[in-house]
């Protein structure tokens, strides 16, 4: 993962404020024209934001990767502003830190896989001489790194990735209330990794829709980019965690829509096609909106990693695979035959609708935890991370969410298929899982698939919008390139 500057982060530790204010005063002394009082406040905040994002990106450690910073003024101003966190005062702060020798450029702007990567920077030795006082302990600083007040809780994006104006709706009101309450709940809990504090900022959620409130709507955080093995190592309030993961959620949602029972594993086609290839092919078929065979899209997406010189997923290694026209045609025919009851949804662009359904499930699970417990649940798209002792509450919350969603889509209630992952177990936890009628899966079981699919979603996303979290925008954009009841909180 490239080390982009974290625009959505802001620290309120006294040391960060003191260092930011010191830099701001030096900046003012270099100007012939004094800013207004309100403008001065924004500039002072910009310097604190700059230091906060640099700190969480590791710029204070000389062994870390360079921090990638976008300096295109169009990204910070007017209609082309990428996000409210891209403040023009922040751009001015960056430019002054560079020109004054506090930030030194260590890598040039360049392209990777056709995408522009900004210049990389490190803090210079001049910065070390400028530090106003001894730095506090790392945990003390990290615990104060929270969500930037300019970071919106909700975004709606057009097909080309542009931000759209938020319209008034009950969905918007409910989401703002939910995420504001969730933010407060996060700050009441300590989340650590190997006894080191993880900043609340990492777990702060943003809900992102596509075009309107009926499409997309998934919740994103910086933490979601971490691997399953990493996630399972954290502790909440000093307690071990586990992750409950929906199995084959989108195929099962489609079978719910047609009121039929789904196969036990919708991605298992037998001995010719690895499971991860079938899963990606299914994603292509539900996101593609153009009718007819999806051969060219399948060739493009299933062969993408090889074009980039990356190794095949682990489950491909027992197969001899040539991602050509004939192989992709056979894969599509087999998948259509195997999932015949839901074939009517293929190549109809229903992917964003399914994302909205799964985001509604997440909404209801969060609501349940906010009202019925004092604990916290960390959503990762279609899975949930909780303290191990909170697993019974999580299962109850998921069943509650399924009941509400069934009412919303006017279908029968679906029994969710779940897999529980954990790296270490509290005493008696295996019995808890067994009593709930669940099973404990290996944390690495689908890790190659997840990593592959995250890379797939990232490719669809138009870059330059702060890679701290991934947005799965419509796959159709990239296909064209290839083909041509709870109370209030």
Last residue of a domain, one of 141, 163, 186: 141
Q: Is residue 164 part of a domain?
A: no
Q: Are residues 384 and 484 in the same domain?
A: yes
Q: Is residue 287 part of a domain?
A: yes
pLDDT at 125: 84
Q: Are residues 321 and 437 in the same domain?
A: yes
CA nearest 383: which of 412, 356, 349, 358? 358
Count of other CB atoms within 10 angstroms of residue 298 = 25
Q: Calculate the alpha carbon distances from 355 to 205, 216, 275, 465, 485 in Å.
A: 16, 5, 21, 21, 21
Q: Is 459 helix (H, G, I), strand (E, B) or coil?
A: helix
* Neighbouring-strand partners of residue 208: 155, 218
User: pTM value?
Assistant: 0.85
pLDDT at 449: 45
Q: List the domain range (segments joined by +) for residue 132.
A: 9-141
**Taking a C-beta distance cutoff of 8 angstroms, is the pair 209, 215 a contact?**
yes
**Taking a C-beta distance cutoff of 8 angstroms, is the pair 166, 173 a contact?**
no
Q: Is residue 42 part of a domain?
A: yes
Q: Is residue 3 part of a domain?
A: no
Tokens standing for residue 325: 């026209």
Q: Are residues 126 and 274 in the same domain?
A: no
pLDDT tens digits for range 82-140:
889 999 999 999 999 999 999 999 999 888 777 788 999 988 888 877 776 677 888 88
Number of separate domains in the chain: 2
Whole-number average pLDDT of the chain: 86
CA torsion, ordered 138, 139, 144, 148, to nearest 10 deg: 60
pLDDT at 112: 78
Q: Is residue 238 part of a domain?
A: yes
pLDDT at 442: 54
pLDDT at 132: 65
Last residue of a domain, one of 141, 163, 189: 141
Q: Is residue 188 part of a domain?
A: no
pLDDT at 133: 67
Q: Are residues 267 and 129 in the same domain?
A: no
Q: Are residues 107 and 245 in the same domain?
A: no
Q: Are residues 298 and 399 in the same domain?
A: yes
Last residue of a domain, one of 84, 112, 141: 141
> Which burial class, exposed, middle or buried, applies to 107 when counting CB atoms under 10 A from its CB (0-12, 13-18, 19+)?
middle
Tokens standing for residue 139: 């945990």
pLDDT at 251: 96
Q: Is residue 191 part of a domain?
A: no
Q: Which segments of the chain have a pLDDT < 50? A: 443-489
Q: Is residue 217 part of a domain?
A: no
**Taking a C-beta distance cutoff of 8 angstroms, is the pair 139, 195 a contact?**
no
pLDDT at 340: 97
Q: Is 383 helix (H, G, I), strand (E, B) or coil?
A: strand
Tokens standing for residue 113: 């896989």
């Amino acid at each position: 993962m490239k080390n982009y500057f974290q625009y959505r982060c802001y620290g309120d530790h006294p040391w960060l404020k003191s260092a930011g204010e010191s830099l701001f005063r030096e900046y003012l002394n270099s100007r012939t024209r004094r800013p207004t009082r309100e403008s001065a406040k924004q500039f002072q905040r910009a310097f604190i934001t700059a230091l906060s994002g640099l700190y969480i990106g590791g710029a204070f450690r000389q062994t870390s990767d360079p921090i990638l910073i976008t300096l295109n003024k169009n990204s910070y101003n007017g209609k082309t502003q990428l996000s409210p966190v891209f403040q023009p005062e922040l751009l001015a702060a960056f430019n002054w830190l560079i020109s004054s020798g506090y930030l030194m450029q260590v890598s040039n702007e360049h392209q990777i896989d056709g995408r522009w990567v900004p210049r990389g920077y490190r803090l210079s030795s001049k910065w070390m001489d400028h530090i106003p006082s001894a730095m506090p302990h790392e945990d003390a600083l990290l615990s104060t790194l929270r969500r930037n007040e300019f970071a919106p809780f909700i975004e709606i994006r057009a097909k080309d990735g542009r931000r759209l104006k938020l319209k008034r709706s009950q969905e918007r009101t409910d989401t703002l209330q939910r995420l504001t309450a969730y933010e407060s709940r996060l700050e009441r809990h300590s989340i650590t990794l190997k006894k080191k504090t993880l900043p609340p900022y990492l777990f702060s959620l943003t809900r992102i829709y596509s075009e309107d409130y009926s499409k997309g709507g998934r919740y994103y955080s910086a933490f979601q980019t971490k691997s399953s093995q990493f996630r399972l190592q954290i502790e909440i309030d000093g307690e071990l965690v586990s992750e409950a993961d929906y199995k084959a959620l989108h195929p099962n949602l489609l079978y719910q829509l047609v009121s039929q029972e789904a196969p036990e594993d919708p991605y298992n086609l037998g001995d010719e096609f690895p499971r991860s290839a079938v899963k990606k092919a299914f994603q292509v078929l539900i996101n593609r909106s153009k009718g007819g065979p999806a051969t060219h899209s399948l060739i493009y997406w299933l062969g993408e990693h090889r074009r980039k010189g990356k190794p095949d997923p682990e489950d491909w290694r027992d197969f001899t695979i040539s991602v050509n026209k004939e192989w992709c045609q056979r894969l599509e025919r087999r998948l259509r035959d195997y999932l015949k009851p839901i074939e009517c949804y293929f190549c109809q662009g229903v992917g964003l609708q399914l994302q909205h359904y799964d985001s509604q499930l997440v909404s209801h699970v969060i609501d349940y935890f906010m009202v019925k417990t004092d604990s916290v649940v960390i959503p990762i798209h279609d899975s949930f991370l909780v303290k191990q002792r909170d697993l019974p509450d999580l299962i109850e919350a998921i069943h509650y969410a399924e009941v509400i969603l069934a009412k919303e889509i006017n279908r029968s209630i679906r029994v969710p298929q779940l897999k529980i992952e954990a790296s270490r177990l509290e005493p008696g936890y295996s019995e808890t899982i067994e009593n709930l009628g669940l099973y404990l899966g290996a944390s690495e079981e689908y890790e190659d698939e997840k990593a592959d699919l995250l890379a797939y979603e990232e490719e669809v996303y138009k870059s330059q919008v702060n890679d701290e979290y991934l947005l799965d925008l419509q796959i159709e954009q990239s296909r064209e390139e290839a083909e041509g009841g709870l109370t209030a909180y």
